[in-house]
Structure 1
Amino acid sequence: MKNTLKTLAFGVIGILVLSFTTMKTEKKNIKIESSKVVWKGYKVTGSHEGTITLKSGSLSFEKEKLTGGEFVIDMTTIASTDLSGEYKGKLEGHLKSDDFFGVEKFPTATLIFTNVKAKGKNSYTITADLTIKGKTNPVSFEISIYGNKATTSLKVDRTKYDVKYGSTSFFDGLKDKAIYDEFDLVADLEF
């Protein structure tokens, strides 16, 4: 009888341990060299676009379902791809200046997922904390994952991060010098 009780007790303990064991999270690092982040900013008279490099990044999965992510963006790498020569250099210098992203003082920006909700088999709705110039605000966007690749795009309101240059939300009389508050980020990631 004692052996039967011991066996039963160990069985119950085993079931309880298995029931309360958390799923293993697998962190997959982003391959920086084969991933790409493109930005596009808009103004009354047109737009500019370019690239920016990730410093590091990872996506977290539980049983192949996305559960988290975190990224560090190297703001010193912001580059224009729609201009060349003197104008390319001027725009890149201005974007790196305190008028825009102040990269000398704020060389990185971060994006940390705070909520991941499955939208479909390979699609998720993400809420994340985006930090630019030391200011953190929530952003929401969709991300799609196929195999070892992920794609996403998000709109960012630059004025929430103290990037006010040329914004009609803060300055009057800009006319055709106005720059729209929102810019786009499009990321093609490989992990």
Structure 2
Amino acid sequence: MKHSIKKISTLVIIAFMTFSFTSIAQNKEQIKTENSNVIWKGYKVTGSHQGTIDIKSGYLDFKDGNLVGGEFTIDMSSISNTDLEGEYKGKLEGHLKSDDFFGVEKFPTASLVFTKVTSTGKNSYEVTGKITIKAKTETIKFNLSVYGNKASASLKIDRSKFDVRYGSTSFFDDLKDKAIYDDFDLVVDLEF
């Protein structure tokens, strides 16, 4: 009996020491906002426009080298257009920031929080997240790739789900060639 207690005690001590010194490597990698970029592209019946928007803050969460989470805040006041110049560029940027579109004065940030990350292959993940624009939150799914200290993703967002109504055929009839499609794209390149 005394010998059995010693064996059990020894096993408990070894197990305790093993678990104490074996840690699961989990780290939160802060996004280098100055080296990262987000390009938006919106579409209308007569063409398209594109530009950039800044990441205010964000991180990707890794566990044993695999992506497990992430969270981002977007600075909506940074919306800029890159395909127009002069007066037309300023008018479009002002309109996008107005209440007709993103109401930047009232809603200065948008956010994305990863809720589920599934590996789909080497360096590739399917991400499910909650995206919040104009205080409305929707679920979104997209693919994200990670290579070294860089990550990239493409997202398609339906603006009508966030009460961005201007020129939307989801809310207005008879827009003809003034219609602006509900879906817009974001192409994201991150460095961390």
Query: One fold, TM greater than 0.5?
Result: yes
1:39 counterpart = 2:45: no
How far 1:22 moved relative to its partner?
7.2
1:29 counterpart = 2:55: no
> 5+ unaligned residues in a row in structure 1: which ranges?
none
Trace 1:125-140 onto structure 2 (pairs within 5 A): 125-140=126-141
> With structure 2 as the length reference, what TM-score do the two structures score?
0.94
- Cα distance in 2 for partners of 1:174, 1:73 equals 30
Deviations 1:110-154 (A, max 9, x none): 000000000001000000000000000000000000000001001
Q: Look up the match of 1:97.
A: 98
1:5 counterpart = 2:43: no
Paired residue secondary structure (1:119): strand
1:165 counterpart = 2:160: no
1:151 counterpart = 2:172: no
Letter in 2 for 1:8: I
- Cα distance in 1 for partners of 2:3, 2:79 equals 70
> 5+ unaligned residues in a row in structure 2: which ranges?
none
Identity of aligned residues (%): 64
How far 1:12 moved relative to its partner?
2.9
Q: How many pairs were matched up?
A: 190
Trace 1:102-113 onto structure 2 (pairs within 5 A): 102-113=103-114
How far 1:23 moved relative to its partner?
2.8
- Cα distance in 2 for partners of 1:13, 1:136 equals 49
> With structure 1 as the length reference, what TM-score do the two structures score?
0.94
Paired residue secondary structure (1:168): coil
